Copies of this chain bind each other. A is one copy, B any other.
């Protein structure tokens, strides 16, 4: 691993630190700033895939609006592999807080992010966020902990 790769890995870890802070602060501009405009998202909810832009921003805003007050967000078991201009990371991400109906929500999700470096800056160009599915019941398994 060269010094450049170390710097790239550090830059991606810093991007993810900023992402976590932005989610916690419900800072929609901060969240959007880590994604490429043409990101392809395999999101937690339907459809199978969707793109960036206004619909993508709206989904994040709806997530923020679903919680009373602050969202707690944490990234664990983070692994980052960075090449010269292509990189990926995977981690287990915990999102928790109090929903608008007063119910507490606490979920660990699997998060894979894929990055491209353009003009010296890394951006997420693809992400997949999911929960495992129990094949027999067809239900998402949302109470797993790492």
A contacts, CB < 8 Å to B? 40, 42-49, 77, 79, 81-88, 90, 92, 108, 110, 112, 114, 116, 125-126, 128, 130-135, 138-142, 144-146
Contact = CB atoms under 8 A, between A and B. Distances in A.
A128 B88 CA distance: 12
A40 B86 contact: no
Given A128-B90, A131-B133, A144 B114 contact: no
Contacts of A85: 83
A126 B77 contact: no
Contact of A128 (B77, B128, B135): B128
Given A83-B83, A114-B112, A48 B88 contact: no
A92 B116 CA distance: 21
A114 B133 contact: no
A110 B42 contact: yes
